[in-house]
Amino acid sequence: MIKDINFYLAGYALKSLLRDKSKNIFIFIVFSLLVALLASTFFLSASMRAEYHQLIKNYPDIVLTNQRAMQDIPYNTDVVNRVLNLSGVSSTVGRVYGKYAFSQAETVFTLLGIDAFENYANPLLNKLNKKYSLDDNAMLVSSSVATILKQNYYKEYFNFIKEDGSRQKVQIADTFYTPKSSADANLIVMPNELVRKIFGFKKSEFTDIAIMVQNREEIGFIAGKLQEEFPNAKITLKEDLLREYENIYNFRSGFFLTVFVIAFFTFFIIIYDKLSGPNSAQKREIGILKAIGWRVEDILKAKLYEGILISLSAYIFGIILALIYVYIFKAPYLKAIFLNNYTLLSDYRLVFHIDIQTVVLLFFVSVPLYIAATIIPSWRVATLDADEVMR
Amino acid sequence: MITLKNVVKQYGNSLALDSVSLKLEEGELVVLKGVSGSGKSTILSLIAGLLKPTSGEVVVDGKKISKLPDHFAALYRRDNIGFIFQKYNLIADLSVKENVLLPLVPMNLPREELESLLEKTLSSLNIKAKEKSLVKNLSGGEQQRVAIARALVNNPKIIIADEPTANLDEKLSLEFIEMLRAMKSKNRTIIVATHDPLFFNLDFVDRVIEVQKAKILSCL
Ligand SMILES: Nc1ncnc2c1ncn2[C@@H]1O[C@H](COP(=O)(O)OP(=O)(O)O)[C@@H](O)[C@H]1O
Ligand SMILES: [Mg+2]
């Protein structure tokens, strides 16, 4: 293979590229940036998909909500235990949360209770739970909640108005970041007990019950049994819970942006090169080469080397840029586009997950296309009569 | 060695060569003379296989050049023809060395062989010192030498020169004639197309052939 490479020809090709330096540098930059953009998109979506699979592993298979007159009401601990005793159920967690209206600012906060022993479906909660140990009278607020509170002169604590009209003072222990547009923007996290106090739940009450089953195949069956056992309950299955996520992941993560970028990429590079083709000096050079004994295939080989040198190096450079951007710098901006509407994850872990298939695909939609666009116009010139240069 | 038989060349409706027949022996130096537009360059292109005749044939060393497909015509040029163009046709942004080696590039020869061919050619033309200079920075006379070096580097049996002194002053023209004499002494077949009178009375020129209005007039 190496022996087949004509290094003189490759040297000539490199010289040709350097002679048209500014244009080729421009192409190189555009080419690598587009590869980088595409590859970043792919890497990011692959990582998020991997993350997503992590996420749904922890998600409850079934959520049971108590209702009266089709309004949600709390459950008692004994129900949690009764559910746990059903065959096929592997674990149950009583969850405590609710909405709190802060009328002064005309907004609604989501109060989420945590408890050190829970295995949270929500990775943000999981993280917070690991990072902070909250005492009975403290809470973590999201950055936008912190802003709202500050605007209303609550810098260190907040007075919740409890169900019975009395006040509950809670210290702000810390702030965590969530984008303004996210569904978690107005999230407040505090111990279960505190949430109960504010909403007037009894000590033994839960907002709903998260259920894990032993065998996923049995979800439908167990759901049926639960409905029999608790005729008032509203039963939500994992797939219903995840539908929202699915939409974000499948729609945002990629398809749109990717297709757009691929189209732009191919369009730009090809049109640019097609339109300019060989200029008159390059045409003359092709004529000279033919006149001094280069075959058409020699000329095309030189062009092939030119195409390979520029597109392959730009491709590799672009992939490296994307790896650095996504996995070292954690994909600023691009991540925001992806997670625009809904994120529980302010700092996504971005597990290193490279989908070789997409890297290969990216190669095949870019490099050969560019090489073809380099060769074809020269081929048209090279097959013309060479005696033009005689004049 | 080189035979043109009833060669007709038409460009569209205009007749560039009207049934030209010509025979050149090996080692012969022939000067094609004639005014501009008479058809000299066309004859050279046909011999070099750069053009195909409209009718008639061109035979070199028993090979029908006029029938060769493009691919083989290029190989034929590579192995047999050294072409010195009127406008030099060098690549201005490449160095002397790179220009001279250009005909050999597709052959992928071993480095030592390439270097020795280069060395020999450059020294014989006295431009070794300028090896690394870019062609665009050379004087007209130096560019002419580079063009000759490029024509000679593949050791061609046939050397073709089209108006080689058209862009040179008298002193450089005389220098070229001396280089031509040296080429002739190596028993190469040489064809020079020119309307420069300097070539018409040279002792080492075998024949001066006049081309006029697409026809060969006289074979002196
Ligand atoms: N590619 C071409 N297309 C049309 N006419 C041409 C072409 N090449 C040469 N000719 C015409 O053929 C004639 C001979 O040209 P040429 O061989 O270049 O003559 P010379 O070299 O003696 O000046 C001229 O009339 C020229 O205009
Ligand atoms: Mg001419």
Residue closest by Cα to atom 18 of ligand 1:
B41
The beta strands (E) that lie in chain A are given as 62-68, 71-73, 75-76, 89-95, 97-102, 107-114, 138-142, 157-161, 167-176, 187-191, 205-206, 208-213, 234-237
Categorize the per-residue pLDDT at A112 as very low, low, confident or very high, splitting at 50, 70 and 90: confident
A383 interfaces chain B, CB cutoff of 8 Å:
yes
pLDDT at position A128, please?
A: 66
- Closest Cα of chain A to B74: distance in Å? 5
Which residue from A292, A383, A385 is facing B51, i.e. has the nearest CB? A385
Sequence-distant (6+) residues with CB within 8 A of B143 are B88, B90, B135
pLDDT at position A346, please?
A: 41
For residue B217, pLDDT beyond 50: yes
Q: Highest mean pLDDT: which of A35-44, A129-138, A379-388? A: A35-44
Categorize the per-residue pLDDT at B57 as very low, low, confident or very high, splitting at 50, 70 and 90: very high
pLDDT at position B166, please?
A: 87
Residue with tokens 């409850």: A60
Residues A84-106: what's their mean pLDDT? 88
Kind of pairing, strands B207-212 and B55-60?
unpaired
For residue A341, pLDDT beyond 60: no
- Distance between CA atoms of residues A234 and A63, nearest Å: 8
Of residues B65 and A121, more confidence is placed in B65
A190, β-bridge pairs: A113
Share of chain A above pLDDT 70, in %: 79
The helix or strand, by DSSP H or E, that contains position B82, with its residue range, turns out to be strand B81-84
Categorize the per-residue pLDDT at A345 as very low, low, confident or very high, splitting at 50, 70 and 90: very low
CA angle A12, A13, A15 (to 5 degrees): 65
Measure the N-to-C terminal CA separation of chain B; round to a whole number of Å. Answer: 19
For residue A181, pLDDT beyond 70: no
Sequence-distant (6+) residues with CB within 8 A of A66 are A72, A73, A74, A75, A79, A208, A230, A232, A233, A234
- Closest Cα of chain A to B45: distance in Å? 7
Residues in chain A within 8 Å Cβ distance of B83: 291-292
Q: Do A293 and B150 touch (CB under 8 A)?
A: no
Categorize the per-residue pLDDT at B118 as very low, low, confident or very high, splitting at 50, 70 and 90: very high
pLDDT at position A305, please?
A: 94
Sequence-distant (6+) residues with CB within 8 A of A240 are none
Q: Is A151 helix (H, G, I), strand (E, B) or coil?
A: helix
DSSP one-letter string for A157-212: EEEEEPTTS-EEEEEEEEEE---TTSTTTTEEEEEHHHHHHHHT--TTEESEEEEE
CB atoms under 10 Å from CB of A369, counted, come to 16
For residue A361, pLDDT beyond 50: yes
Residues A315-333: what's their mean pLDDT? 89
Which residue from B50, B81, B101 is facing A386, i.e. has the nearest CB? B50
Residues A65-89: what's their mean pLDDT? 87
- Residue-wise pLDDT for B25-39, tens only, equals 999 999 999 998 899
Residue with tokens 């081929």: A379
Q: What is the average pLDDT score of chain B?
A: 91
Categorize the per-residue pLDDT at A353 as very low, low, confident or very high, splitting at 50, 70 and 90: confident
pLDDT at position B49, please?
A: 92
Categorize the per-residue pLDDT at A83 as very low, low, confident or very high, splitting at 50, 70 and 90: confident
Pair of tokens at residue A65: 């909500």
Residues in chain B within 8 Å Cβ distance of A390: 41, 44-45, 50, 85-86, 162
Cβ-contact B9, B204 below 8 angstroms: no
pTM, 2 dp = 0.73
A289 interfaces chain B, CB cutoff of 8 Å:
yes
Of residues A222 and A365, more confidence is placed in A222
Sequence-distant (6+) residues with CB within 8 A of A111 are A97, A98, A99, A100, A188, A190, A195, A198, A199
Categorize the per-residue pLDDT at A343 as very low, low, confident or very high, splitting at 50, 70 and 90: very low
- Distance between CA atoms of residues A137 and A224, nearest Å: 40
Instruction: Give distance in angstroms: CA of B145 to centre of ligand 1.
Output: 26
Categorize the per-residue pLDDT at B2 as very low, low, confident or very high, splitting at 50, 70 and 90: very high
pLDDT at position B220, please?
A: 46
Sequence-distant (6+) residues with CB within 8 A of B81 are A293, B47, B48, B49, B156, B158, B159, B160
Q: Of B155, B9, B16, B26, which Cα lies nearest the Cα of B82?
A: B155
Residues A284-313: what's their mean pLDDT? 92
**Amino acid found at B13:** N
Residues in chain B within 8 Å Cβ distance of A284: 89
Burial of B144 (0-12, 13-18, 19+ CB in 10 A): buried
Cβ-contact A188, A141 below 8 angstroms: yes
Least confident of A56-60, A160-164, A278-282: A56-60
User: Measured between alpha carbons, how far is residue B141 from residues B126, B155, B165, B170 in Å?
Assistant: 11, 22, 10, 11
Which residue from A9, A292, A389 is facing B103, i.e. has the nearest CB? A292
As for ligand 1, residues whose beta carbon falls within 6 Å of it are B 11, 14, 16, 34, 36-42
pLDDT at position A347, please?
A: 45
Instruction: Give distance in angstroms: CA of B42 to centre of ligand 1.
Output: 7
- Closest Cα of chain A to B157: distance in Å? 14
Strand ranges across the sheet with B2-11? B14-24, B2-11, B55-60, B63-64
Q: Do B102 and A390 touch (CB under 8 A)?
A: no
Pair of tokens at residue A238: 């994992």
pLDDT at position A183, please?
A: 62
Mutation target for B interface from A2, A283, A292: give the one with most B CBs within 10 A.
Answer: A292
Of residues A57 and B69, more confidence is placed in B69
- Around ion ligand 2, residues with a beta carbon closer than 5 Å are B 41
Burial of A307 (0-12, 13-18, 19+ CB in 10 A): buried
- Distance between CA atoms of residues A336 and A333, nearest Å: 5
- Closest Cα of chain A to B132: distance in Å? 14
Residues A258-282: what's their mean pLDDT? 69
A-chain residue closest to B74, CA distance: A293
pLDDT at position A344, please?
A: 44
Residues B149-178: what's their mean pLDDT? 92
Categorize the per-residue pLDDT at B117 as very low, low, confident or very high, splitting at 50, 70 and 90: very high
Least confident of A170-179, A323-332, B97-106, B141-150: A170-179
pLDDT at position A342, please?
A: 44
Sequence-distant (6+) residues with CB within 8 A of A361 are none
For residue A125, pLDDT beyond 70: no
Of residues A77 and A116, more confidence is placed in A77
A171, β-bridge pairs: A138, A157
Q: Do A387 and B103 touch (CB under 8 A)?
A: no
Radius of gyration of chain A (CA): 31
Residues B98-113: what's their mean pLDDT? 93
Instruction: Give distance in angstroms: CA of B163 to centre of ligand 2.
Output: 7
Burial of B129 (0-12, 13-18, 19+ CB in 10 A): exposed
Residue with tokens 């192995």: B79
For residue A18, pLDDT beyond 80: yes
Residues in chain B within 8 Å Cβ distance of A297: 71
Instruction: Give distance in angstroms: CA of B162 to centre of ligand 2.
Output: 6
- Residue-wise pLDDT for A131-180, tens only, equals 666 677 888 888 889 999 999 988 889 999 998 889 999 988 888 776 66
Query: Phi first, then psi: what are they for A171, rounded to 5°?
Result: -75, 145
Q: For chain B, list residues whose CB is within 8 angstroms of any CB belonging to chain A.
A: 41, 44-45, 48, 50-51, 70-71, 74-75, 77-79, 81, 83, 85-86, 89, 91, 93-94, 98, 101-106, 108, 114, 150, 154, 162
Query: Which CB contacts under 8 angstroms, 24+ apart, belong to A250-259?
Result: A252/A337, A252/A338, A252/A339, A252/A340, A252/A341, A253/A44, A253/A45, A253/A48, A253/A49, A253/A338, A254/A41, A254/A42, A254/A45, A257/A41, A257/A337, A258/A38, A258/A41, A258/A42
Of residues A289 and A263, more confidence is placed in A289
Q: Is B83 helix (H, G, I), strand (E, B) or coil?
A: strand
Query: Phi first, then psi: what are they for A390, rounded to 5°?
Result: -70, -20
Residues B75-96: what's their mean pLDDT? 92
pLDDT at position A191, please?
A: 86
A9 interfaces chain B, CB cutoff of 8 Å:
yes
- Distance between CA atoms of residues A79 and A209, nearest Å: 9
Share of chain B above pLDDT 90, in %: 76
Residues in chain A within 8 Å Cβ distance of B114: 8
- Distance between CA atoms of residues A362 and B133, nearest Å: 42
Quote ipTM for the complex. Answer: 0.91
